[in-house]
Amino acid sequence: MISTALHVLAFGLITGLMLPWWGIGVAGFAAGFWKATTAWKALGAGFSGAGILWLAAAGYIHLKSGGILTVKVAGIAGLTHPSLLVPLTALIGGLVAALAAVAGFHSRSLLKKS
């Protein structure tokens, strides 16, 4: 599962340079299709790999902007505490990649049956 999570993280870095936010789903699908051995491991690897990546990215942006951007986006999103935005970002990225990784795993299973 760790190698699959690292693949999600690496693919996510690459797709993040070329695609919008949904590129993490492409990365999760590819890793789930290529590396996952079970659906549960695909789910965990997709969530942890993308969650760590998006947590690091959101934390970096928060620190580089001095928290100003986090406060403004949290205000737009209606969050009472701007500090919730960073883990919420990681949660969203993790869920997108986790579901995509499970879809990738099941797609490979369907192709094997054919």
pLDDT tens across the length of the chain (114 residues): 788 899 999 999 999 999 999 999 999 999 999 999 999 999 999 999 999 999 999 999 999 999 999 999 999 999 989 989 999 999 999 999 999 999 999 999 999 876
pLDDT tens, residue by residue, 63-86: 999 999 999 999 999 998 998 999
Residues 6+ apart with CB under 8 A from 91: 51
Alpha-carbon separation of residue 19 from 16, 24, 30, 72 (angstroms): 5, 9, 15, 24
Closest by CA to 99, choosing from 9, 16, 6, 31, is: 31
Domain of residue 82, residue span: 2-113
How many domains in the chain?
A: 1
* Burial (Cβ within 10 Å: 0-12, 13-18, ≥19) of residue 69: middle
Query: Is the pTM for the entire model greater than 0.85?
Result: yes
Structure tokens that stand for 112 in this block: 């094997």
- The pLDDT of residue 46: 96
